[in-house]
A and B are shown apart, each in its own frame.
Chain A
């Protein structure tokens, strides 16, 4: 297959999903979207009033109908809903544990995902085992959904490795720190999936700040030109370190997709059901040969950018407080309780499970050994390299000289 044939890949399925796509780009606005619309104030220059936003659960935990996306969660069972809740609680717990491990000096740095659980769990649970995920450095919840052992995420933050897991083990690529790069890798991977004639899909995560990078816009364009089965999933958490979204964009991000020729949708990023639904829709489009989709999960970075950051330098507490009222976990809990989908026992058990997870993470991290010094020279090349061999030997001789000196004394 040639690259051209990827571009020519024909939609495989009915127009049904297509109409979902066009509905979302032509501005159909559900009643639900209005209640959260005020949150859009940070995106100036939106054409024609408030941007639409897909929402299935209100901040109060009320289920609202959405003609376009309901079908993607129509048959969700109470057990699955409890599963989403559990995922969010446990990944939040893991995240909190990592933050405190950093405070205790066990990690050099941590980038907390606090507040972004719904966006990550909703989208992560929408993926299939054969799909491939390209994360930034903050997708701990997505990693959780992919079955990556959470303690594996901590190696690079502890400084014992620069990655630490086999990307092909869970089809979850390494974290990428250079902002935006991975969106191109995801697009290329998706081009490969299409060439292979597989019906897997690829999802690329990135941030609102990342949307300014040339790489990201190039990824959009490659995705569009080759009709690649890729979903661009932006977590618009309102901040790129100290810069608010006004510094990155003048139209709501999801609207940018239109200019590249594929649909873009803004979803309530604190609504796990809505995130699950829109991501399922977008992945299905990809599988059906309908090309890329841009999803903008509208959410909030509740914590500091990383443990090195001091957000009091640049943002007000009131903003955070306003977002606290939209907490993704409380929202689903209210819904579960209201619908009698979960009882006391469930929450108590989860609490215990959460404590156990925290303890396991602590224990594993504290026992995580420093790498062997010679790891410096490992895996620099797949086929070896004479200079690396020479420097490794010099290094060995140098190290040995200390041992000899020690023995001599």
Chain B
């Protein structure tokens, strides 16, 4: 036990927490992205033949609305309505807390380790992405607040309908400004994952001479899949393909 406490206190222990909480968050991101792709399945009119524009939510069933409803019902009746969803939210919140506080501790340690900086210095890190992790993380955190207010609670949305995920999504992404915000946020996420995924294998000691050369390409591929997966539906909405 004493060793576990020491590991937590050590610089390596903080990195391990960083990696594990990051992997939980990555798991969520994969699920969230797959869920969003349900937008592409569009809606079925509940009343046959009613294709007119400006349908009320009640008059059509959209794949993503059904999916969102399903998420609220996971585990029911074994657990109450929404309980599993809330449990998951608490887990995510915990993961963000651990991730951010480890990041903060590592940052303040690093600051203390070099109080006098260089007059001239050149960045010779492997990638640009690694140098953006800390500020990139702060940007992502701010984005998450906005994103929740935009699509979950609705304060930042011009025409929010509770439960009308498809409606909110399509209306939201018709604005070029909002599309731009999401584009920037997803690019930041992509960069964060590009370093983070590779870095996690390094931190967790998951390296092997046979597979080491695959770590970078796999991290690149996964972060690009996330970027394309998240950005495809909004771009299609903006282009008017989805309405």
Q: Is B truly associated with A? A: no
